[in-house]
Amino acid sequence: MSLKVGVIGTGMIGQDHIRRLTQVLSGVEVVAVNDIAMDRAESAAPAGAKVFETPQELINDENVDAIVICSWGPAHEEQLLACIAAGKPVFCEKPLVTSAESAIRVMEAEVAYGKRLVQVGFMRRFDADYRRLKTVLDSGALGAPLMYKSVHRNASVPEGLYTSDMPLNDTLVHDADISRWLLDDEITGVEVRVPRRSTRGNDLRDPVMVMLHMSSGVIVDVEISVNVAYGYDIRGELSCETGIAALPNRPATVITDQFGIRQAIPEDWRERFIEAYDQEFREWIAAASAGTATGPTTWDGYTSTLVADAALRAVDSGKLEKIEMIEKPALYSAVEKIAAE
């Protein structure tokens, strides 16, 4: 029997997830949609899906088994709490919520429910290349990790909509989450350095260099550049005691012509992580069909809000900003290890 899903927020990524849920993946059906822009919901609704006027009506509808939240971050808390109150599994795009207090309220509700219901959209954890990198690290063949370099480059970002704080409170969350997951470690402090500003970014603070201090002593250095023009370029390199492990360049046809020997670069995150998003939803569908969630937890969403807050403090102070966390609820301690393949 198919999992009957309702999608809240039918903008760019909501439409892309509706496409994969209806055209790519099996065992799932989009039966309901909602958006504050009703016309957008109506045009995104697949044949036969009901368009709801409010997220609450969609969540509580008895025909909806599980929910996918793709609305804006500030709307997530209310929608997540309604899903938990209804006892329905929910996939929530990042950011889980936009403040640590808000994340704690969602965690408290999920812990009181007594079972994981929430999965956060950190899709890199489902990418085959990152999983292979983790397998190498976890094998111990290269000794202990000492440093990790994470590079996050966008060709461009929407002018006016993307502000100077967003590399630190929107983009960095992916690098921070993948570092925590790869290293199986928590971030204890954040430093930020601002190099020479790119003239392509108008008034944006771009690029930025971030140093994430892990509890083991590993330091992660993150480059975020959001206006590099040439494409979407994601890199990762682990320096361990006896060797280096790095993400491969994406396989692409090699073109040889009068301009030289070259390979195409992904245009954006949709192209680079297309299989990771598919795999993320494949695993979510399996978990949600069993009434629960898998992969990134509400705790992971909580820590990403703390990292974003610390990074914003660090850019102002120029100093190492420490991260203070609440005690991790037991519900999130025994998180299953994701299989390597």
Ligand X SMILES: NC(=O)c1ccc[n+]([C@@H]2O[C@H](COP(=O)([O-])OP(=O)(O)OC[C@H]3O[C@@H](n4cnc5c(N)ncnc54)[C@H](O)[C@@H]3O)[C@@H](O)[C@H]2O)c1
- Count the neighbouring beta carbons within 10 Å of the beta carbon of residue 262: 12
Work out whether 34 is an interface residue with ligand X (CB under 6 A): yes
Work out whether 35 is an interface residue with ligand X (CB under 6 A): yes
Work out whether 120 is an interface residue with ligand X (CB under 6 A): no
Q: Binding ligand X by CB under 6 A: which of 88, 94, 131, 213?
A: 94
Q: In Å, how far from its chain's centre is CA 172?
A: 10
At 91, which helix (H) or strand (E)? strand 90-92
Q: Which stretch binds ligand X (CB under 6 A): 64-72, 199-207, 226-234, 237-245?
A: 64-72
Work out whether 98 is an interface residue with ligand X (CB under 6 A): no
Query: Which residues, listed in sequence order, are joined to residue 220 by a DSSP beta bridge?
Result: 148, 212
The helix/strand/coil state of 155 is coil
Closest to ligand X by CB, 145 or 299: 299
Q: Roughly what angle, to the nearest 10 degrees, separates helices 172-183 and 128-139? A: 30
The DSSP result for 274-337, as a single string, is HHHHHHHHHHHHHHHHTTS--SS-HHHHHHHHHHHHHHHHHHHH-SPEE---PPPPGGGTTPPP
169 backbone dihedrals φ, ψ, rounded to 5°: -110, 5
Residue 162 in tokens? 């993307």
Work out whether 274 is an interface residue with ligand X (CB under 6 A): no
Q: Binding ligand X by CB under 6 A: which of 40, 235, 250, 282?
A: 40
Closest to ligand X by CB, 94 or 134: 94
Closest to ligand X by CB, 42 or 72: 72
Q: Binding ligand X by CB under 6 A: which of 29, 65, 93, 110?
A: 93
Q: Which stretch binds ligand X (CB under 6 A): 36-44, 80-88, 129-137, 326-334?
A: 36-44
Work out whether 70 is an interface residue with ligand X (CB under 6 A): yes
Q: Which stretch binds ligand X (CB under 6 A): 72-80, 142-150, 208-216, 290-298?
A: 72-80
Q: Which stretch binds ligand X (CB under 6 A): 8-16, 20-28, 98-106, 301-309?
A: 8-16
CA-to-CA separations, 114 to 110, 140, 239, in angstroms, rounded: 6, 35, 39
Smallest distance from the beta carbon of 23 to ligand X, in angstroms?
18
Q: Binding ligand X by CB under 6 A: which of 27, 39, 43, 72?
A: 72
Please give the Cα distance from 320 to 159 (Å, whole number). Answer: 30
Work out whether 167 is an interface residue with ligand X (CB under 6 A): no
Nearest to 83 by CA among 69, 98, 102: 69
Work out whether 11 is an interface residue with ligand X (CB under 6 A): yes
Provide the binding-site residues for ligand X, judged by CB under 6 A. Answer: 8-14, 34-37, 40, 55, 70-73, 75, 93-94, 121, 123, 269
